[in-house]
Structure 1
Amino acid sequence: MVAAWLWLLCFLVPQALPRAQPAELYVEVPENYGGNFPLYLTKLLLPREETEGQIVVSGDAGVAGEGLFAVDPESGFLLVTRALDREEQAEYQLQVTLETEDRRVLWGPQPVRVRVKDENDQVPHFSQATYKVHLSRGTRPGVPFFFLEASDGDEPGTTNSDLRFHILNQAPAQPASDMFQLEPRLGALALSPEGSTSLEKALEGYYQLLVQVKDMGDQASGHQATATIDVSIVENTWVPLDPVHLAENLQVPYPHHIAQVHWNGGDVHYHLESQPQGPFDVDTEGKLYVTQELDREAQAEYLLQVRAQNTHSEDYAEPLELQVVVTDENDNAPICPPRGPSVSIPELSPPGTKVAKILAEDADAPSSPNSHVVYQLLSPEPEEPAELRAFELDSTSGSVTLGAAQLQAGQNILLQVLAMDLGGTDGGLSSTCEIPVTITDINDHAPEFTTSQIEPVSLPEDAEPGTLVTTLTATDADLEPAFRLMDFAIEAGDEEGTFSLDWEPDSAHVQLRLLKNLSYEAAPSHQLVVVVRNVEELVGPGPGPGATATVTVLVERVVPPPQLDRESYEASVPISTPAGSLLLTVQPSDPLSSPLRFSLVNDSEGWLCIKEISGEVHTARPLQGAQPGDMYTVLIEAQDADEPTLSTSATLVIHFLKALPAPTPTLAPVPSRHLCTPRQDHGVVVSGPREDPDQAGGHGPFSFALGPNPTVQRDWRLRALNGIFLILIFTHLTLARKKDLDQPVDSVPLKVAV
């Protein structure tokens, strides 16, 4: 069983493997073979063992049916049965197989390619027996004006079909026998150099050429044929063209015919070139067209070249030139220059100062009305009369200058100028040009003080250096910060350098300060003149009166406050001390100082009084209520008699002692006393102590009387209270009105008796 499977496998494997395709066999067979047939071509590699079957030759249609090819079964040679004609069929594709009766292939297929090798058995022939050709005078020599057409049925690319052309005869042979030349390979007929020169002289207008075509290339042998070329000489119509003027933006149907060229010879092709490239074309009849609207501003002129060429793109003659001029239309408005930065003009510039120059460009034809631009000032609108105009404009040049009207610093002005073509006439185009102008500041304003006269300033003579006297403020009407910088100085009134000025560099305020100590005795007042100037150089008129300010400084005299001979005072007083007793005297420390006025402060009990001029302190009334060992404190105030605002004070402390025994009073003359204690009922208590040194304390009862002066007797009267006190009463009302009881009163002479 295993052996049977192995046998079956061995049988099947070869059947599954594909058989290799035999390589193609190549065989050449000369056409028109004149030998015996069949002609054996090549041996096929048929199977060596005898195999039943038949050899089948197949291939191109009709090959098998005609029996043209066969295989000798005995020798295995492929054979051809008759002569082959390459012009009928140049190549055969065959397949040879060994097949059974039921068409099963036992061997093959074997491809065979049979090529019929060409023999020169074909005669060349022209496409026409007679050719009629027109030759234009002016045709350049060597440029073919006609191409002969001939063919040969032999295999292309071989010597058998390699044709050569020749001129056999020219009739007439005048004015030269070699008027024409024929290119041998291409059959291109052209004028010879001699013929080109002679053609202009030739009277004949007709030539007949006998031409030949021969195969086998340059070999002497070969087949040949002839033909006739009738050449008619025609006049040269290839003449220069006049320039063409075309309006830009022309509204016509396109393409639009503009010119015509004509080459009088035959077989011509026209070719058009444009410099620069433009919308132009030429048709087969030589008509020239513009294919779309032209724009003069894009291209004002074109140079066209028209060529008359043969079928090989060779020029029959020099190309004709046609100048196309694009005429201008007013289709472009003037173009203003780009708006640039603002033009700066210093203020106070004189009339006629150049501001700017507008040069609007018009793309239309130069020097034509379409590009003739004039100018008109739109804004600011020109004023009448001319003295009111800030700007002047030259309508032809576009130059803008300053007018007579003054402009102020800081003004920003937008000049608007109308640029018009056609010289400003109706129908023209226009554009509005803009020029920003800034009037810049110059230093033409001097600084001035806001106040030229300062109220008098009072300073005490002991004011310390550095003390602020006053602050001055100045202004400057200029706009530029650099032109507002100020410098200050004391121009007059400070020869001793007593004062100084202090200010910040960019400030309009200056402080007048005290630099040295003042002296009332040396100078009770100062009149200072302060001047302000620009740091930058001033343009124009100099500073005016407002550039100075006068400051009056009054020096206040400083009087030192009065000083007493003691800082405080004390007195020991028995509680029995009577009214009017002198306790002590307050005096200034410097006897030569100004006189003082004394008064008591805080004398709550009214026990004391002080003489205003002398400073004597007395008891004003009995010390009722005082107890031994108590202290009583009052304040003594002293004022400068010349300067009441100057004062000083000191404390007075009274120490109360036990009462003394009462002494026996003795009468003694008492000197006159001054009024001492004011009373609300217009009376004055007058105390008159005895000044008897023999009586202790000088106290005792008194008797009083008015002096003998009649006026005193009239105006005063006495009322005794007891032996110590009395009241002095005013009896004359006029005196009471005139006198101020707080003011010192002249002394009244009194008689004092015990």
Structure 2
Amino acid sequence: HLSAMCQNLGDLHVTGPLKDMNFSIPEGGAVRFIYQFTSEPPAVSFRATGEKDGIIDIVPRTGILFLNGSLDWETKAVHRLQVESLDEKGNTVKGPYTVTIYVEDINDNPPEFDQIMYTGVVRQNSRPGKPFMYIHATDRDDPTTPHAQLTYSILHHFPNPYKEMLFQIDNVTGAISPSKMGSYYLDPQKQDTFTLVVTVKDMAGMTANAFTSSADVIITVKESLWKAPPTIRIQENSTQVYPVNISQVCPWPQALHLSLVPQKKQSRLPFSIDQSGVIYVTEPLDREKKDTYAFFVVTKDNTGELVDKPLHIHIIVEDINDNPPVCQQAVTVIEVQENEGAGSNIGTLIATDMDEENTLNSRLRFKIESQVPPVPASNLFFIQQDTGILQLTSRSLNKRIASNYSLKVLVSDGVFQTICDVQVHVIDINDQIPIFEKSDYHNVTVAESLPVGTVILEIQATDGDEPGTGSSYIIYQMKEGDPNNTFIIVTDSETNRGFVKTNKALDFEATPVYNLVISATNPEPLVLGVQYNSSSLTLFKVFVTNVDEPPVFHKTVYKGEVFEDIPVNTLVMTVEAYDPEGDTVRYSLKGDVRKWLRIDSATGQIYTASTLDREQEEMYTVEVVASELTQKSKATFILHLSDVNDNPPLLAMDYPPFFCHPLSGGERAFIQADDADEQLWYSTFTFSLADDVNTRNNWEITKANATHAYLSPKHVNFEEKVYNVPVIINDNGKPPLERKVNLEVNICKCSSEKSCFIEVQREHSWPSTGQAIGILLGVLLIIGKSLFLGLYEKKQKREDLMVVYHDYIS
């Protein structure tokens, strides 16, 4: 060892004088240098004592502190030594000094479970996440480091019949509980034993170099004692002493509180539960008010947490026969003709019972108790016992003997009885046909313009049957001559008088004459052997006279759409009207204020008469007049003009831009463009300067947005005057249009409000005639204004007057 140490001494760079020192050294390893102490005369050697444990020592002559074995944190975490220097005689020169060696833990121990195999029991329907057992492992490494931080997981799950595991483990505590899937699917009838292979990793499971151990967990599934009882049946209106025990649930041992929760929001439940799981009904129940109840039994532990999922309790209230039959009507009225035969079904008595349907409690039976009057026999009527259908026992009804019968019918449900009243009215048989007072009502002449609903004739037929019955009421109909139902006939129910009315507009051109045959019938069928004949028919003729009607357009509004640049004499629309009398129709236009259109008077074809302009009017509306000899009618024509790019852009500014003199640099003015064309398509403009050297040396223009740009001076050496800046603006039409404008830019002295004083002289040039007139008018205005301002100045004692331009700088 010493020879090896000497060979490696050159690698030892940590040296120093003797003093108290601390060292941290990882455990494990073999021979290693720790430190070299240097000696000072008269010291010639070193000596180490203390907890060397045969592993730590010092070379006396060189002072090298070294390890000649492996440190083990799990055996000893700290070694404390005393080191001193000696002279030739072995006497202490310096020291002893304390040298402490702290052993650093490395992950050299795998975790170990405290059991080779674990067993546990879980109940069916256990709440997911509620632990039913724990596993535990330990690690001999330093617990203050990740070396001993353990993570649990389930490696295998035997058997595993579903996509998800039925169990889950808390990776920190080792608590095993059912998963959501397990809480739902665990069933000892299907699988009562599961084996889980559970692993534990150190290093908090964060590195692939962690140690892993595993153990088997055998889990037995047992049937849940926490089960909902089968549907509970309670008889209504019980006379027992309440509360009454109706069922019991078996709570978990750890359940400290049981309660009932209604399935739906309601004021209260007529049930209660005690803490042993006994469910009571607290009051009599009435099935006719409520026939079923549904609620949950909820169990919680002392922390208020659910111990298990709520149990659904379903209760059916059983019926008893506690409701009497009820007649649907106070008096059931039945009409029957006097010639009805034996066995005829003449009507049904309807009664109801509030007890449960389709049970003996609501089964009703019918029986006739009495018949008044009892003539010509006391048993003229029969009622079916189970249906309430009334029948005649013989062909014995005669209105002259008795026109009305009163029946008392006993209705019974086996416990209760009710009497229902039935009135039978014997009505006259329909053995008389209606007879018209006239067989021919001759004719009537009406104009085709007669309003719909006008009465054109009154007719009358009589019937000898009993008044106010279906045997005597008369229905009038057009039997022949009116296939399109142009007429209707309304009957007065009191007098049986008929009123013939127009049901549709008359049209002389379509039907000038109607030859009508009118019939009179009853809603009640005629008795056998009696038939309607010619006495129930009458004739009537309607002459329709012609009325000169105006022409009729096929449409009331015509709409067309064209581009505004279409050539003159382009056909844009054809209108059409016809005259009901067949006269020739001529066409003309009214309201064509811009003289843009013309119409062919014979064909109704509308052409452009001049150049169109959408910017003047986008929706152009005129009236089209159709005329015949005496009548006219009108229709509306709306022409929508679609935009084309026919307007170059222009500046849209109320005031010219200006800059305050002298310029300081960085100024810019906001300029805006506009376009008369439709903005939907032509709202983007391009701004540029004219291509001349002077302009480009003095100015620059930059885009601000689709409709605005910035004009900026390129230097500050401008005179105090008005400059004309040639600006070119392009739109984005197809094709695009361009306009060149001379933008007046004022370089002026400004007030403290950053507005120009009186406008400076423009650049010198000879004025045109128009300009000269303008200048003359301007001078006169200025003179007049000066006189007025002078007087006003004296009156107000003002010191200064400025003409201010509007500040248009952005």
The TM-score with structure 2 as length reference comes to 0.28
Of the two, which has the highest radius of gyration? 1
Give the alignment's TM-score, normalised by structure 1.
0.30
